[in-house]
């Protein structure tokens, strides 16, 4: 694509940091792992940070750390990346799909309580596209029903909620650092928590259940190879040092899009500010108006691609995914999820997207909207 959907922002300083690790003898479970974990903990205000090889691995370990198991129910959005439901199913538990708020695209607290049953054990609150979920309402519901809360902050590092960084506000939270994220480690994620027991279990289980890393062939329990290398961590350390500059750049790109598209009555733009916090812009997702069908949205998506402009259909509802075709789990009416899933279009969005490129994206999108076939 001439204008890709996303593009990582890597500098010579980060390349040099990775190269220095490659010249050492310790590429995994080394000093850069500890340094990266400490940096993430300090930035987010978490007492503990446990780095893993992906956000999905982090979500899975959170399920295990909170004791989610066979037949338990966990409330999740269907308008999200599939990992939120898969992590529940990895432990043979049941994801209960609850609808999203039509404006924020996050779980709608007003619909959560109706989905709670005697089997409900937790709520997985996703900060969709970097917009913080309504944690106050979610925490109130969780306390009332004695539920645990996990923050899926994989798309939201740097976001603020009522003066505090998202992630460690719940029982546990997870960040992800795939190359399309605000900062990247190539592949990787971090669990953050204030609970030392959750952190200790996650540290052990990411490393094949070892309770003492010095005893390499001694395993206290069944675990996984969810380790992240010091190579990835070195990249993450340098990226995190630049995060405020990165977030400011992304905010500027979002403003440029809004300025160019706000007068189009057939586009629903993302909320551009948070009254009690800060958005961490992950992607810029517009929704086509009521007069457009899913087929027409898909036509626009394909035409944008044919002109060298990368776009994404974020998100196809999880309960419509082929992997969930025969899933017998619980779900409730999801009108906002299904409408958003058929009308959303993610536009190119990354730190160094140029104004001229934004001009071309917006002009092409609006031209195609005018000429969309019936």
Q: Annotated active-site positions, please?
A: 181
Residue with tokens 């446990």: 50
- Cα 52 from Cα 43, distance rounded (Å): 17
Strands 344-347 and 172-176: what pairing?
unpaired
Sign (positive/negative) of CA torsion 137, 100, 174, 325?
positive
Q: How far is CA 26 from the centre of its chain?
A: 30
φ/ψ (deg, to 5) at 347: -95, 160
Token duo for residue 259: 């300025």
Beta bridge partners of 21: none
- Cα 284 from Cα 35, distance rounded (Å): 32
* 311 to 168, 285, 357: CA distances (angstroms): 32, 9, 13
**How big is the chain, counted in residues?**
374
Beta bridge partners of 150: 124, 172
- Cα 160 from Cα 276, distance rounded (Å): 8
CB 152 within 8 A of CB 181: no
- Cα 90 from Cα 109, distance rounded (Å): 25
Token duo for residue 95: 């994801």
Helix (H, G, I), strand (E, B) or coil at 146: coil
């Amino acid at each position: 694509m001439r204008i890709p959907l996303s593009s990582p922002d890597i500098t010579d300083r980060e390349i040099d940091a990775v190269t220095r690790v490659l010249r050492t003898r310790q590429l995994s479970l080394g000093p850069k792992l500890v340094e990266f974990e400490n940096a993430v903990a300090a930035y987010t205000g978490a007492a503990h940070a446990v780095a893993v090889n992906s956000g999905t691995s982090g979500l899975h370990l959170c399920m295990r750390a909170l004791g989610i198991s066979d037949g338990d129910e966990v409330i999740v959005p269907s308008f999200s990346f599939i990992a939120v439901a898969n992590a529940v199913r990895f432990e043979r538990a049941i994801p209960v799909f609850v609808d999203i708020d039509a404006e924020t695209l996050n779980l709608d607290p007003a619909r959560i309580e109706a989905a709670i049953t005697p089997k409900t054990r937790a709520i997985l609150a996703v900060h969709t596209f970097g917009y913080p979920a309504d944690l106050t309402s979610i925490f109130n519901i969780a306390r009332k029903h004695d539920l645990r809360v996990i923050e899926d902050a994989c798309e939201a590092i740097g976001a603020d909620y009522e003066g505090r960084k998202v992630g460690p506000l719940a029982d546990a939270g997870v960040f992800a650092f795939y190359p399309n994220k605000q900062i990247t480690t190539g592949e990787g994620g971090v669990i953050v928590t204030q609970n030392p027991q959750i952190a200790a279990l996650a540290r052990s289980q990411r490393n094949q259940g070892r309770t003492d890393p010095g005893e390499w062939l001694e395993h206290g329990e069944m675990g996984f190879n969810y380790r992240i290398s010091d190579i990835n961590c070195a990249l993450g350390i340098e990226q995190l040092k630049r995060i405020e500059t990165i977030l400011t750049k992304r905010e500027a790109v979002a403003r440029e899009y809004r300025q160019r598209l706000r007068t189009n009555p057939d586009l629903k733009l993302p909320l551009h500010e948070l009254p009690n916090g800060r958005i961490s812009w992950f992607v810029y997702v517009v929704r086509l108006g009521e007069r457009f069908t899913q087929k027409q949205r898909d036509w626009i998506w394909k035409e944008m691609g044919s002109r060298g402009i990368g776009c994404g259909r974020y998100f196809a509802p999880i309960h419509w995914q082929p992997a969930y075709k025969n899933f017998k789990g619980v779900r409730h009416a999801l009108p906002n999820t299904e409408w958003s899933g058929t009308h959303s279009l993610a536009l190119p969005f990354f730190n160094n997207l140029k104004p001229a490129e934004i001009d071309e994206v917006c002009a092409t999108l609006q031209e195609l909207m005018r000429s969309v076939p019936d």
